[in-house]
């Protein structure tokens, strides 16, 4: 099984760079609005028009606290703009009940808008320091409400990677549970070339990257050479 490389552009110039560099999934976000910061719907729509046929576009809709209606409306907008994956972060969620209601509303909204679009539920490897729900609870919740993909990211972008907060055993458990529930799974969170051997051994379906392919930090432009280098190391 090959691991798909998801690259997260913040503008249309970066969409071109990511595509030309060999990204498998183009993930539209706005890094200055958070780990899963939402970009504008017209950027999502334009990105969808730009990418080659068969290259899916993902759209982050935000790092959410318990606002199910707001999340559902944001998800509708991303799906209507053409996103193939709609990704929500459970950032300030303290119980499985809150998680189910929030994520269930997003699934309902997305499937009403585009039955083929996939919902990505993201939890955070640094869940203890941001006081939110553990990623290990996510596969069961996502399966219960009909989401399609589960993901681990870092909530606070300070350069510390997912592997500093969740060890191999925890991540393997997360991935195994996702497979048991017939969900795809993704790993992200300040990951880079040095993490590729461990990522390959864990074998998630998707590896999510931004900072490692930027010229100088996650708010600087994406480099085509860095995308190509990472893609080559992943193969």
Give the separation between CA 22 and CA 96, rounded to whole angstroms. Answer: 37
- Contact call for residues 220 and 32 (beta carbons, < 8 A): no
- Choose the catalytic residue: 4, 29, 30, 137: 29
Q: Catalytic residue at 30? A: no
Query: For 119, phi and psi rounded to 5 degrees?
Result: -100, 130
What angle (nearest 5°) sits at the alpha carbon of residue 123, between those of residues 117 and 129? Answer: 160
Given 3-state DSSP classes, what are the helix, strand and coil percentages for the chain, each rounded to the nearest 5? 45, 20, 35
Give the separation between CA 178 and CA 186, rounded to whole angstroms. Answer: 10
Q: Catalytic residue at 87? A: yes
- Choose the catalytic residue: 30, 48, 87, 111: 87
Residue of 132, 108, 111 whose CA lies nearest to 122: 132
CA within 13 Å, CB half, 32: 5
Please give the positions annotated as active site: 29, 87
């Amino acid at each position: 099984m090959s691991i798909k490389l998801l690259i997260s552009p913040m503008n249309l110039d970066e969409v071109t760079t990511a595509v030309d560099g060999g990204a498998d999934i183009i993930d539209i976000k706005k890094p200055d609005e958070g780990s899963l910061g939402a970009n504008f719907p017209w950027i999502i729509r334009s990105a969808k028009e730009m990418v080659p046929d068969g290259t899916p576009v993902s759209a982050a809709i935000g790092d959410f606290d318990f606002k199910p209606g707001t999340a559902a409306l944001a998800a509708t907008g991303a799906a209507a703009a053409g996103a193939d994956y709609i990704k929500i972060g459970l950032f300030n969620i303290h119980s499985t009940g809150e998680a189910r209601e929030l994520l269930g509303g997003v699934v309902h909204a997305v499937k009403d808008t585009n039955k083929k679009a996939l919902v990505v539920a993201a939890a955070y490897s640094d869940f203890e320091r941001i006081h939110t729900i553990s990623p290990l609870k996510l596969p069961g919740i996502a399966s219960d409400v009909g989401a399609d993909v589960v993901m681990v990211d870092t909530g606070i972008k300070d350069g510390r990677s997912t592997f500093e907060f969740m060890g191999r055993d925890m991540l393997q458990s997360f991935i195994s549970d996702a497979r048991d529930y017939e969900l795809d799974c993704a790993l992200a969170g300040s990951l880079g070339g040095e993490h590729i051997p461990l990522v390959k051994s864990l074998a998630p379906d998707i590896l999510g990257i931004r900072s490692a392919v930027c010229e100088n930090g996650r708010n600087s432009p994406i480099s085509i050479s860095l995308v190509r280098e990472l893609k080559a190391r992943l193969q």
